[in-house]
A and B are shown apart, each in its own frame.
Chain A
Amino acid sequence: MPAKIAVLAKQVIDPEMPMAAFQIDSNAKRVVTPPNIPPVVNGFDENAVEAALQIKDSQDVSVTVISSGSSFALDVMKKPLSMGADELVLLQDDAFDNSVDSFQTAQLLASAIRKLGGFDLIICGRQASDWDNAQVPLGVAELLGLSCVALGKKVELKDDRVVVERLIPDGYEVVEASLPALVTVSNELGQPRYPTLRGIMAATRKRPTIWSASDLELDGGEMEPRLTLHDLFVPVSNAECEIIEGDDEVDAGRRLALRLREENFF
């Protein structure tokens, strides 16, 4: 049996959008989806797809991408397929609009993973660039009782274990974990591959599996909200910048040094 790999990927508002387009609807306490800027697959999740495909490059494995949300841009969510993933499973329901509550998201994903018969290895991004929670994967690992290694920059699948180079503040450590395991990855993994023309064509033909709340075994208690959002606002910066000018740029650089000296910074 080929090993089964799942990648958990979230659709997010493009974090590279111009700051001017970033707006909050304070009544609804949510970030307004910018009208002319298409969403993207969360950047670190593309790294996760890449990590899975690197394993697939040399081993017989299947790669299933799973995403949960209330609505999807199908062409966006098909990108992992065009990069080379085999299958796409979308958990789509109005009730799955769960940006705040990582607990619910983890429950949904765990329940879909169970329904799919489990995986040997689950790869996730380190965090989603919208709510920066960095906790859904750890939750999925706990709910399913998997070994868990966070912040990978290299992931290798070896027989009955996964070997991960994991980032630590002053370098990295090599960690070995038993399967089934969940690993999160960071951008240090390297650029995700581009979709090939063949990949794009294959992806167009593939139909995602779509499950709504009624397809998943969710008991009420587990889906009870864990957090309450009271307010969402844009912080204001009150820094006043003193622009140091001079006769020319050489002079400005010199004056900057003098100014910092004057203020006793060095």
Chain B
Amino acid sequence: MAEGNGVLIIGESAGDELSLASQEILAAGRKVADDLGQELAIAVFGDAVDAVARTAIAQGADKVYAVTSPLLAQFQVELNLAAAETLCRETSPAIILVARTNQGREVAPRLAFRLGVGLAQDCLEVSIDTSNGKLLANRPVYGGNAVAVISCNQTPQVAAVRPKVYVPLEPDSARQGEVISFPVDLDVSMVRSRVIEVVKEEAEGVKLEDASIVVSGGRGLGGPEPFAQLEELARLLGGAVGASRAAVDSGWVPASYQVGLTGKTITPDLYITIAISGASQHMAGCSGSKAIVAINKDAEANIFKEARYGVVGDWETVLASMTEAVRELVQE
């Protein structure tokens, strides 16, 4: 593809709204577009785009491509990809940004491969290199033990940005933008896979991703039963329960509890870890927490290097007295 101009975000809607991840990536894209001195566009798919387009413009977009086809009513990966590819080829952006959500983690690499270009995967930060106007991406590698700074050699430059890193811009309803209808021709024969059943396995109560307090348990708990005590503390604090991969792999809690590189990314105000060592792959999912608390019997555990408050001790004793004290304090 030729030189390319502007920044294009592959957007996602959640119901009739622009998804939170798309709002976040608009903030990243706005900065990049300003530094380039070029336009920020976002593609939204499906028919119900009015509210979505308004939000997108209020939160930074100059242009909204309303990509439509009777086949785009619901997300279907091959159809979405084909539509995104057509739009990218026709509008030739210099930079494409995708939020690395459940959908984005599949769409971004496949789109980049279709366009024959590289992808900066799982970025924590994207910026413009002022010396040459190219996109620079910071991304964790080796489970978060290292950070790589990379750029893409071809145009468009594509980056997938980790959710919950950027904060959406304050909506400004006075901002002006253009909504461009972009009908695409899709064919059902592009569909190679279909969902035949959806099984939800989530805990009741506050969602782990949305909770402002999370209590997480690790291998040091020794079995599934102690999670009842974590639930109790979480309930008193109005929070949710999470776990390390070791606890999930042991079968103590379902996979949907896992926090980390290959689990959920969470950014609570308070993250309380119980008998978790703090491996980099675990921290990758919770390092955006405002404060981390560690309860661990090993004073040398890595978690104390990341935590704001810590108690070195046996979890059973410490958690029990902590929970009692919390109970008294919330009843006051």
Number of residues from B at the complex interface, CB < 8 A: 90
Contacts of B188 in A (CB 8 A): none
Tell me, rounded to whole Å, the shortest Cβ–Cβ distance linking B7 to chain A: 19
Verify B308–A241 contact, CB threshold 8 A. yes
CA distance A63 to B234 in the complex (A): 46
Residues of A in contact with B, size category = 35 or more
Contact with A along B142-162 (1 / 0, CB 8 A): 111111111111100000000
Interface of A is mostly: mixed
With A132-B261, A138-B110 known to touch, is A242 a contact of B309 (CB < 8 Å)?
yes
Verify B195–A175 contact, CB threshold 8 A. yes
Listed stretches B169-177, B179-187, B287-295; interface member:
B287-295
Listed stretches A67-75, A144-152, A197-205, A210-218; interface member:
A144-152
Contact with B along A243-266 (1 / 0, CB 8 A): 111000111111011111101011
Verify B311–A252 contact, CB threshold 8 A. yes
Verify B209–A243 contact, CB threshold 8 A. no
| A residues 92-129 touching B (CB-CB < 8 Å) | 100-103, 106, 126-127, 129
Interface residue? B270 (CB, 8 A): yes
| A residues 150-198 touching B (CB-CB < 8 Å) | 150, 153, 163, 167-178, 181, 186-188
Interface residue? B317 (CB, 8 A): yes
Interface residue? B52 (CB, 8 A): no
Verify B143–A244 contact, CB threshold 8 A. no
Tell me, rounded to whole Å, the shortest Cβ–Cβ distance linking A259 to chain B: 6
Listed stretches B12-20, B27-35, B61-69, B321-329; interface member:
B321-329
CA distance A169 to B213 in the complex (A): 19
Interface residue? B102 (CB, 8 A): yes
CA distance A265 to B270 in the complex (A): 7
With A147-B193, A169-B209, A265-B291 known to touch, is A242 a contact of B148 (CB < 8 Å)?
no
Contacts of A253 in B (CB 8 A): 295, 311, 313, 317-323, 325
Report 13 cross-chain contacts, Cβ distance below 8 Å, ordered by A residue: A102-B109, A102-B118, A135-B119, A138-B113, A142-B110, A148-B77, A173-B195, A226-B118, A232-B146, A239-B306, A243-B304, A249-B317, A265-B269
